[in-house]
Structure 1
Amino acid sequence: MKEFEIEEIYIYPVKSLSGIRLDKAVANEEGFEYDRKWMLVDKSGSFISQRTHPKLAQFQCELTDKHLIIRYEHSDIKMPLKPATSKYQDVSVWDSTLEGQEVNPEIAEWFSDLLCDSVSLVFHGQKSIRLKRFDKPPYQTRVSFADGYPYLLLGTASMELLNSKLEEPIHLNRFRPNLVIRTELPHEEDMWESIYANEVHFNNIKPCARCIMTTVDQETGEMGKEPLKTLATYRQKSNNIYFGTNLIALNTGIIRRGDFLKLSE
C-alpha cells in the first residue's frame, strides 16, 4: 500500500466560524467529533455563512472538556457542549431541511449584536437527522451541518501549486479541510478511492466544488477575487472549480497527526 502522512487535522465546531487544529480526532459517519455541530441561522431557519457574513471568519472557537468558547475581539461567550433545552426548530442547509436543537437565547443575542443581524444558534442534536445521497456505495451517509459531505481532504502539493501561481500566497484555511495530507503530486488525492487512516476506512466520493467563501481572508474577514480567479485557469470543469476532495467514513475510530493514510491497492 502507498502511504501518505497526515500533516494536519482540523474541525470547525460552528459552521463558518474559525477552525481548531487537533492532534487527534474521533471519526464517525457524520464527521469528526464536534465538527459543524453548531450553526447560525436567520429568522427563517436558513443557515448563514461567510458568503454573506465574511466577518464570521474572525470569530475564534475553543473546545474544553465541558464547554465551547467563542471569542470575537475583546468579547467572548461560553456554552455547554450539549444544550440544556430539549426544544428543536426547523432549519435548512442548502436544500436539506432538518431539526436543530435550540441553544440559549442569550447566545443568539450575543451573535446578533456583533453581526448587526437577527440570528440564532442551533446544535446538531439526536433529532437532527440529515442524509447525503450519492452515486457510489454505500450511496448515502449521515452528515452534520457541513455544506455537503462529512470530510474534506487536501493534499499539500495541491496547495503548493496554487500558491506558486498566486501573487500573494494564501493559507490553506481558506479551504477549510479536515485532513491535510503530505503529498508529492498536485491533486493526486482526486484519484484516490478506498483510503485507510489508522483503523478508519474512508471512501473518496468526489472532488470538492469551491465557492466564493474561499475568497474570504480568514484573518481580516475581507473578501477578494483570489484564489478562485487563479483556480479557474486550471481547475475549472463544467462551470465548477474543484480543489480538495470529499470523503465519507465507513466506520468509527481515532486518527492522529503523524498517522499514515494508506491507499487500497
Structure 2
Amino acid sequence: MTHPHVTALHRYPVKSLAGHPVEQLTIDRSGPQGDRTWMLVLPDGQGLTAREQPELMLIRPELTATGLTIRAADRSDLVVTIPTGPTDIPVKVHSTELLASSAGNGADAWFSEVLGTPLRLVYLGDPDIRPVRPDHAEPDDRVSLADGFPLLLTSTESLDALNDLVAAGRFPDEWPLSMTRFRPNVVVSGMPAAWAEDGWRRIRIGDAIFRTPKGCDRCVMTTVDPDTAARGREPLASLVKHRRWDGKSWFGMNLIPDTPGTQIRLGDQIEILESVPDPDGPPR
C-alpha cells in the first residue's frame, strides 16, 4: 500500500514572482526559511501581486548567501543584497500594515523598468512580526509576506481529479493544468483518494508537525499560466462548479508549523495525527 509522501517542495523568495523547486525546506514559525520574505510594492506601499500584474510570474528570483539574483527575459541580471538599513518602509499585505526595509534604488529602478510602473522592492527582515489571522490561528502563530498562512500543501491526486473536471468542462482547451498554478510549498502523492486532505486537522511530515487550520480558497491568480503569464478561465471555472462553499472555491490546505526548526524533505511520509471523516463542506 502506498502512503502519502512528499514528491515536490517549492520556495518563493519574492511574493508573486516565480518559485523554484528544492530538495528540503527548513521550517520557521512563519513558514519555510527564505519563502516570501521579499515583496514588490506600489508607491502607496500596497503589495503588488500577479493578480494585478501577471507578468510577475515570469521573473525568476534565486536565493544567494547574501540576498537574491533576479532574472528576466532580455534584461541583465539584478543582484540584490539583504538590506542593512532601517526598517522604515510602511507596506501593506492586503489589509495588514507593517514595516519593511528598502532593497535600494537600483532594485527599484530595475523592477520599475521591467514592469513599466513605479515600484519598490522591500525586505521583511523579521518574519516573526506578522500574526496569522486570528480566526484560524493561535496568538503566537506568525506568517511572512504570504497571503495568509505559513505554508500551502496540495496533492497530485486532487490535481488529477481537477484536471478530469477541466477536460470534461467548458474550457477543455486549457487542460491539463500544472501544479505550479497553485504555488504550493509542499506537494504530496500516494493519497487514498482525491480531496482526502480536506479532512486533515494535524499532520506530521518527517519530523515536522503542522496544524491544517483551513483549506485554501482560490483567486484569479490561479487562472494565470505561470510559463506564459496568459490568463484563462480555469481552474476557477471548474472549481466554482464542483468545489464551491461559502461563496469561495477551494484547492489545497494551509499549514501552520508547530515544530519550528525542523526540516521537511523530498520523500518524507505524511502521518495523519488528527482528521475528520468525509467532511461535507469547505475544507476546515
Residue segments in structure 2 that go unaligned for 5+ positions in a row: 167-171, 275-284
Aligned match of 1:211 in 216, 219, 227?
Answer: 219
Aligned pairs (5 A) from 1:1-265: 3-75=3-75, 76-80=77-81, 82-126=82-126, 129-135=129-135, 138-139=138-139, 141-166=141-166, 167=172, 168-182=175-189, 183-252=191-260, 253-264=262-273
Alignment partners' CA distance in 1, 2:215 and 2:136: 13
Alignment partners' CA distance in 2, 1:184 and 1:50: 33
Relative to structure 1, the CA distance from residue 30 to residue 5 in structure 2 (aligned partners, 3 Å threshold; closer, same or farther) is same
SS in 1 for 2:100: strand
SS in 2 for 1:44: coil
Measured against aligned partners, the alpha-carbon deviations of 1:234-262 in whole angstroms (never above 9, x if no partner) come to 00112100100111001220111011121
AA aligned to 1:44 is: D
Measured against aligned partners, the alpha-carbon deviations of 1:3-56 in whole angstroms (never above 9, x if no partner) come to 421111111100000011000110011010000000000000000011111110
AA aligned to 1:179 is: V
AA aligned to 1:230 is: S
SS in 1 for 2:216: strand
1:99 touches 1:127 (CA, 8 Å); kept in 2?
no
Percentage identity across paired residues of the two chains: 35
Alignment partners' CA distance in 2, 1:153 and 1:133: 18
Alignment partners' CA distance in 2, 1:137 and 1:71: 36
Relative to structure 1, the CA distance from residue 127 to residue 11 in structure 2 (aligned partners, 3 Å threshold; closer, same or farther) is closer
Q: TM-score, normalised by structure 1?
A: 0.95
Alignment partners' CA distance in 2, 1:79 and 1:135: 36
Alignment partners' CA distance in 2, 1:5 and 1:151: 16
Alignment partners' CA distance in 1, 2:128 and 2:101: 7
Residue segments in structure 1 that go unaligned for 5+ positions in a row: none
How many positions carry a matched residue from both structures? 263
Alignment partners' CA distance in 2, 1:160 and 1:95: 34
2:215 touches 2:254 (CA, 8 Å); kept in 1?
yes
SS in 2 for 1:205: coil
Does 131-140 or 66-75 show the bigger shift?
Answer: 131-140
Q: TM-score, normalised by structure 2?
A: 0.89
User: Which has more strand, going by share of residues?
Assistant: 1
Alignment partners' CA distance in 2, 1:202 and 1:218: 28
Alignment partners' CA distance in 2, 1:127 and 1:188: 31
2:128 touches 2:142 (CA, 8 Å); kept in 1?
no
2:133 touches 2:148 (CA, 8 Å); kept in 1?
no
2:243 touches 2:250 (CA, 8 Å); kept in 1?
yes
SS in 1 for 2:48: coil
Relative to structure 1, the CA distance from residue 136 to residue 64 in structure 2 (aligned partners, 3 Å threshold; closer, same or farther) is closer
Alignment partners' CA distance in 2, 1:91 and 1:14: 15
Relative to structure 1, the CA distance from residue 127 to residue 14 in structure 2 (aligned partners, 3 Å threshold; closer, same or farther) is closer
Alignment partners' CA distance in 1, 2:91 and 2:135: 26
Relative to structure 1, the CA distance from residue 127 to residue 33 in structure 2 (aligned partners, 3 Å threshold; closer, same or farther) is closer
RMSD, aligned CA: 1.6
AA aligned to 2:124 is: H
Cα offset, 1:140, TM superposition: 5.0
Relative to structure 1, the CA distance from residue 160 to residue 127 in structure 2 (aligned partners, 3 Å threshold; closer, same or farther) is closer
Alignment partners' CA distance in 2, 1:135 and 1:63: 33
Measured against aligned partners, the alpha-carbon deviations of 1:199-225 in whole angstroms (never above 9, x if no partner) come to 211000001010000001101111111
Measured against aligned partners, the alpha-carbon deviations of 1:121-152 in whole angstroms (never above 9, x if no partner) come to 11011387211133456355111100010110
Cα offset, 1:67, TM superposition: 3.3
AA aligned to 1:77 is: L
Does 254-263 or 138-147 show the bigger shift?
Answer: 138-147
